[in-house]
Amino acid sequence: MTASETDVPAGPHEGEPHPREGLNNRLNWLRAAVLGANDGIVSTAGIVIGAVGATSDRSAIVIAGVAGLAAGAMSMAAGEYVSVSTQRDSELALLAKERQELRDMPDEELAELTGIYVEKGLDEALALEVARALTKKDALGAHAEAELGIDPDDISSPWHAAWASMLAFTVGALLPLLTMTLAAPDIRLWLTVAAVVVALALTGFVSARLGFARPGRAVARTVAGGLFAMTVTYCIGSALGTQI
């Protein structure tokens, strides 16, 4: 069979939904969830601790915390949706271009795929055989993965990322909000700080494991950033509370 006789089937990607969520989507919403939880903890802790620096009125602290939680959750969801939608649009555009090239220039695409496998270390004859076999089985999948690094069955989902981010932000924000509002006035500040440090250490550890990085540095950075944010907002709240 010559290169010109090679079929370029549409494969399962033409109009057939894939029922199984892939690794890319799982990592996508896990990343959104971890970042959302971290942002929820830090931003809400900063708000309520800043409020405590300005006033001892429990109602004012609760209002500030709830407003920050609601605004932050919506902002995180919208941000993730826009960001991942842009990524998804780019992936779909690249796949559409690749699909057209497979239809209009099958010989050139086969040669390109063969060249990729030659660059990876296969001899030309074996690379051509592999390229033909993969193209015959799933042309779009083979070319998209080799040329673009995209799995057509595992396109990023903006809705998954948005929901994961919003829910995780809400859960993370509830920790400092509840700790600050339910604890006794004489211990609520330090109890909130302690709870936030523990929670940030956990999110830093999880984010490092997801990224296959060393957890020690990630935990230290996350906790240091949270402590810095709480210190700054408390100082701002104290300064404003003495002047307003």
Q: Please, are residues 162 and 150 in contact by the beta-carbon 8 Å criterion?
A: no
Who's near 186: CB < 8 A, 6+ residues apart?
none
Residue 167: its pLDDT value, please? Answer: 92
Q: Specify the pTM.
A: 0.72
Q: What 3-state class would DSSP assign to 18?
A: coil
What pLDDT score does 18 carry? 41
What is the structure's pLDDT at 125?
86
User: Tens-digit pLDDT profile for the chain (244 aa)?
Assistant: 344 444 444 444 444 444 444 556 566 667 777 888 889 999 999 999 999 988 888 899 999 999 999 999 999 999 989 988 998 898 888 888 888 888 888 888 888 888 888 888 888 888 888 888 888 888 888 878 877 777 787 787 888 888 988 999 999 999 999 999 888 888 999 999 999 999 999 988 987 887 777 888 889 999 999 999 999 999 998 888 765 5
- Residue 143 DSSP symbol: H
Q: For Cα atoms 93, 97, 103, give the angle at the middle one, nearest 5 degrees.
A: 145
Tell me the DSSP string of 152-169.
TT----HHHHHHHHHHHH
Tell me how far the alpha carbon of residue 84 is from its chain's centroid. 8
CA dihedral sign, ordered 132, 136, 137, 143: positive
CA distances from 105 to 46, 98, 127, 151, 190 (A): 57, 10, 19, 21, 67
At a CB cut-off of 8 Å and minimum separation 6, what does 192 contact? 45, 48, 49, 176, 179, 180, 183
What gap in Å lies between CA 118 and CA 126, rounded to an integer?
Answer: 9
Q: What secondary structure letter does DSSP report for 211?
A: T
Q: Torsion angle, CA of 196/199/204/207, rounded to 10 degrees?
A: -140
